[in-house]
Amino acid sequence: MYRLFLPNEYVKNVFRVTPDKLKTNGIRGVITDLDNTLVEWDRPDATEEIITWLQEMREAGIHVTIVSNNNEERVRVFSDPLGIPFIHNARKPMGKAFRQAVRQMGIPKDQVVVIGDQLLTDIFGGNRSGLQTVLVVPVASSDGLATRFNRKVERIIMKKLKRRGLIDWEEIK
């Protein structure tokens, strides 16, 4: 059961996930969370660094889709100016939005990776859907109300994973 919470990789931020690294691993599609993965949960638009990262993905032929539990307005305001497809109200960790994103990209699921900052939504949902997963350190140290609860549960799961010897990486700052 706990293995479903284990990401394939744990990195400091999305910038550590490069087009070259993805291509080397046979990845042609990225499903990414929005809030506290790409930008702070309360930042409405992309930073210059995120815009550059998304352009590099596009230029490398890697498809990116944002899958967020947030509402349509929040995700549309961020995604539309960038021309990035998105799925809102995704109900992660349920698998429907992940399957929908894979279908929309037209890429086999073994060539898609999920990037997110939460074990309970992004990693658990991606793993349950049979996708590769990358956990990133949250962009902001603050969270919305629902996410604050999730973080408490995540700390418990992380401790259990560590005690069982399933985590071989330390906290990344």
pLDDT digits (tens, 9 = 90+) for 50-75: 999 999 999 999 999 999 999 999 99
How long is the chain? 173
pLDDT class of 169 with cuts at 50, 70, 90: low
In which region does residue 34 sit, left (phi positive, over 0), alpha (psi from -120 to 50) or beta (all else)? alpha
In the predicted model, is pLDDT for residue 154 greater than 90?
no
The CATH class for the domain spanning 2-163 reads alpha beta
